[in-house]
Structure 1
Amino acid sequence: MKRILAPWCILLPFAAALAAAGEPAQYALRYDAASRTMQASLCLDRAAALQRFAGDASAPGHVEGLTRSSGASLQRDGDGWSARDWRAGECLRWRADLGQIADASARRSALHATGTITDPGGWLLWAADVAAADAIVELPAGIALSAPWTPEPSAGATRRYHIERTPPDWLARIAIGRMSETTIDRPGGRLHVAIGGTPDPAQRTRLLAWLERVSDAATTAYGRLPLADVQVLVIPVGAQRDAVVFGQSTRGEGNGLTLFVDPSRDAHAFERDWIAVHELSHLFHPHLGARGAWLAEGLATYLQNVLRARSGLLTPAQAWAELADGFARGRAATPRDAAPLEQASLDMERAHGYTRVYWSGTAYWLAVDLDLRHASGGRIGIDDALRRFDACCLAPPRAWSPQAFVERLDALMDTDVFARRWREYRTLTRFPDVPALDASTDTGVRAAIMRAKGGRQSED
């Protein structure tokens, strides 16, 4: 589950412009726990006749006390500020009331999460044409920071990060407060886990054991995590019917996922969860925008079942049953006069058309997986395509159009199946035809899909 962000056609020029400029920048951030405020500065080592600063559209209402270290003036400029005759080595300084921002956001949420949790786009200003920055963050004793930024070697209460700039409307999430922190190392990458609040030792042990299991499941796609550093923010939200209530993947200023949980639930309740594997599965594809939501959510929904079966969180038979049930719900949720799938994807949040979009996309990935495996005798599937895309194209972050993504997968696999199926599915005004999923159909291919590379798995 994730917020659909800006369309790819807007984001590609943004990324190209930043890559061409590459101006270095340095943030210094100091957090005050008593007032829940952040003192910030941004220093640039290059002079400019006119330097512009901005965050997202909400930033002008969230930052205050902007000054230049030179004492020269600043001018409001649309959603940002402009500074004339910027000097090499000069710094912009400001203050942000993170507590106020976080509390306002919490009041709008049905999940009632507590803590200082913000989107940095609302208070962390960037200079125009700066593609990346390093940050030094000073925190009070006992206060932790969870951010999607890449950690650098640090000592004491001072933390260092590298931040890749992304478009301002790519959601990110930062939490500051008393949290339990740990790192889960897996082949290919690290999950930087922060558990909000003060879970008791038994709850913490249970949560970490669950996260280790789901991260193991993610590695069964092709043997490793696809990205080197991933923020995992676990937010307790009180007593709930399910152990995991909601999840969200984010791509702003790095890769992260947020999981809203009831930490009091037992280990068995967490073992039944599918949300964490779903959100981790979003790491395997690039940002595809609203037009490609059916591809992105379909892949994550397909993998949430396949990867759980491969890792033993489900049996293969249970995974096939979950897929069959989802396809039935997707078919029931598709109206007779449905818009083309790509249009439904664009309208998904406004029209709440999640079930049709998610499960139509899942049917696409199953169809492609079956095509590849039938052609290769079960040896090659979408895992191989995603692994090759990881090796060439997944980092650094950039937006991809759905067409460019599927065409690159075809090129990497020397096939036409991804784009051919994409052209078929994107215009569908009905739910896709799904192959029979009973155990008597394609037994060898079914087994190959639910088996990790080099592993063995039964249908029981």
Structure 2
Amino acid sequence: MKRIAALWCVVLPFAAGLVAAGEPARYALRYDAATRTMHASLCLDRAATLQRFSGDASAPGHVEDLARSSGAPLQQGGDGWSARDWRAGECLRWRADLGRIADANARSSALRAAETITDPGGWLLWAANVAAADARVDLPAGIALSTPWTPEPSAGTTRRYHIERTPPDWLARIAIGRMSETTIQRPGGRLHVAIGGPPDPAQRRRLLAWLGRVSDAATTAYGHLPLADVQVLVIPVGAQRDAVVFGQSTRGEGNGLTLFVDPSRDAHAFERDWIAVHELSHLFHPHLGARGAWLAEGLATYLQNVLRARAGLLTPAQAWAELADGFARGRAATPRGDATPLEQASLDMERAHGYTRVYWSGTAYWLAVDLELRRASGGRIGVDEALRRFDACCLAPTRSWTPQAFVERLDALAGTDVFARRWREYRTLTRFPATPALDTVDAAARAGIMGAGGGDEAEGEGRDWNTKGTKERPIERKSLKHGAPEGRGFR
């Protein structure tokens, strides 16, 4: 029993202290488009001797005119507020200048948007010990809202949502403006797409067709999307060299994906994109923290190639070549001699700009695990099947896992020791991992990884994964949060 309790604490360090019983808290939000201001109230059914409220560390600088509906006083301290003798049914009211918040964030980014984009952690206050809330949002006519919250049945300009609380340092993104909205339904879930601008009809059709193919690619992992509701925010940023210039996955208060695009590019340019599949691939693993960045980014980088090959967006030969080129870049980016262990490089990744080594070392881990699983099981189990089993039992959007707990659970689900054994090996590596030559990989394993026909096409390519790659584009950096509006936290 002690071992189970300890694991529970490792897996659920945040949610364990929250109260989910009874009616959730209730938000009423009203947006004023003329002033770009959100008027908010939070009502609680339970009385409390002392009730505390907080957002993230920036909230005290963004929340204005905070008051209790009873007229009783509030005390501010640190990054929050407290209220004594809170009454059942009482409400907290405030306003936040979202325009000022969004403009301040935009000044620190090279990517600008016409929409008002903020992290709700900076202005949406939560009551202590509350795990979930329902929200009603009143919007002006013609104004759309993109959030990671779970949509509930709504009517007219009033939107209703359910919000699951997450740690305050998990990034979320909310956009308000004149956007085009669509829901893409796929087995297992829905992508709630909001396109800024909005684009002209031809651009909108092209973007939606591309996102449809991206979502189809995600379902090739194990037949369905891993999460029921995912926010997809598409922000036009004008003429660019690439169709998609930046992507970011977020987990705060739900799962989201933001893509900065040049909507004027043709369909072929979007077909060549890998960023959207990379970011969508982060849905297949839980939040792993900075220490697990090499696992998280490695999995997304591995799947961005595998899933595109399965969906026909790449040939299997092209996918193997992309992996070969990435491994060559990762090897070249790993310091020779006195390099830090991979886990420490993950912790230092943003400060030291060590993205290439971290991403591609992690990719090498997932490939090695996939090959060993398929070899040991006669092709019955691979990384995709292990992730499917994890999805079925354990993939909750609000739950954070330590890297060790994650790989040990994958081993338990797959009946193996390969995930944890390889994890212990790779996390301490001070060199780039060894990667096999392609012609030494079993054809059945190649076919199982890339899908039908993958073995034959890959074998015909004849690439050696230890040869120097020919592409120099820093693909792993384009999808990072580094330099993005409000970027903070890890997936």
TM-score range, shorter chain: over 0.9
Post-superposition offset of 1:10: 9.4
Q: Is the 8 A contact 1:53 1:125 kept in 2?
A: yes
Counterparts of 1:433 and 1:63, CA distance in 2: 52
Q: Which residue of 2 aligns with 1:351?
A: 352
> Which residue in the other structure is 1:29 paired with?
29
**Tell me, what secondary structure is at the counterpart of 2:13?**
helix
Give the structure 2 partner of residue 361 of structure 1: 362
User: Which whole-Å CA distance do the structure 1 matches of 2:320 and 2:194 have between them?
Assistant: 33
User: Residues 218 and 307 of structure 1 are in contact (CA less than 8 Å); yes or no, is this contact kept in structure 2?
Assistant: yes
Distance 2:42 2:249 in 1: 28
Give the aligned partner of residue 104 of structure 1: 104
- Conservation of the 8 A alpha-carbon contact between 2:286 and 2:397: no
Corresponding residue of 2:432 = 431
CA deviation profile, 1:318-350 (whole Å, cap 9, x unmatched): 000000000000000000121000000000000
The gaps in structure 2 that reach 5 residues or longer are: 1-7, 458-491
Match of 1:395 in 2: 396
The question of whether the paired residues in 2 share the 8 Å contact of 1:43 and 1:89 is answered with yes
Cα deviation, residue 443, structure 1: 1.5
CA contact (8 A) 1:281 1:303 kept: yes
Specify the alignment match of 1:263 in structure 2. 263
* Residue correspondence of structure 1 range 128-277 to structure 2 within 5 A: 128-277=128-277
How far does residue 377 in structure 1 lie from its aligned partner after superposition?
2.0
Aligned equivalents of 1:145, 1:66: Cα separation in 2:
24
1:213, distance to aligned residue in structure 2 (A): 0.3
Structure 1 residues 277-316: aligned runs within 5 Å: 277-316=277-316
- Quote the offset at 1:458 in angstroms: 6.5
1:11 Cα deviation after fit: 8.6
Measured in 2, the distance between the counterparts of 1:398 and 1:445 equals 32
- Kept in 1: contact 2:10–2:405 (CA 8 A): no
Aligned mates of 2:362, 2:212 — CA distance in 1: 28
Instruction: Check conservation: 2:9, 2:16, Cα contact below 8 A.
Output: no
Shift of 1:233: 0.2
> Which residue matches 1:17?
17
1:195-244 per-position Cα deviation (integer Å, ceiling 9, x unaligned): 01120111000000000000000000000000000000000111110000
SS at match of 1:238: coil
Distance verdict in 2 for CA 1:249–1:363, change over 3 Å: same
Matched with 2:377 is 376
TM alignment of 1:36-115, pairs within 5 A: 36-115=36-115
Q: Shift of the alpha carbon at 1:379?
A: 2.5
Check whether the contact 1:23–1:130 (CA below 8 A) recurs between aligned residues: no
> Is contact 2:369-2:383 (8 Å) kept?
yes
Cα distance, 1:456 vs structure 2: 5.4
Alignment of 1:118-137 (within 5 A): 118-137=118-137
- Asked if structure 2 preserves the Cα contact closer than 8 Å seen for 1:132 and 1:163, the reply is yes
CA contact 1:385–1:412 (8 Å) conserved in 2:
yes
Distance 1:68 1:11 in 2: 36
Q: Residues 95 and 27 of structure 1: is their aligned pair in 2 closer, same or farther, counting only changes over 3 Å?
A: same
Deviations along 1:341-395, whole A, 9 cap, x unmatched?
A: 0000000000000000000000000000000011122231001100000000001
Amino acid at match of 1:215: S
Structure 1: gaps spanning 5 or more residues: 1-7
Percent of paired sites with the same residue: 88
Structure 2 SS opposite 1:27: strand
Contact 1:22 1:132 in 2 (8 A): no
Distance in 2, Cα, partners of 1:152 & 1:282:
25
Q: Which residue of the partner structure matches residue 4 of structure 1?
A: none
Shift of 1:118: 0.2
**TM-score, normalised with respect to structure 2:** 0.90
Per the alignment, in what secondary structure is the counterpart of residue 96 of structure 1?
strand
CA distance in 2, matches of 1:13, 1:360: 28
Deviation of residue 18 (structure 1)? 1.1
1:217 counterpart letter in structure 2: A
Letter in 1 for 2:393: C
Q: Cα distance 1:105–1:22, how it changes in 2: closer, same or farther (>3 A)?
A: farther
RMSD of equivalent CA atoms: 1.5
Call closer, same or farther: CA 1:19–1:419 in 2, change over 3 Å. farther
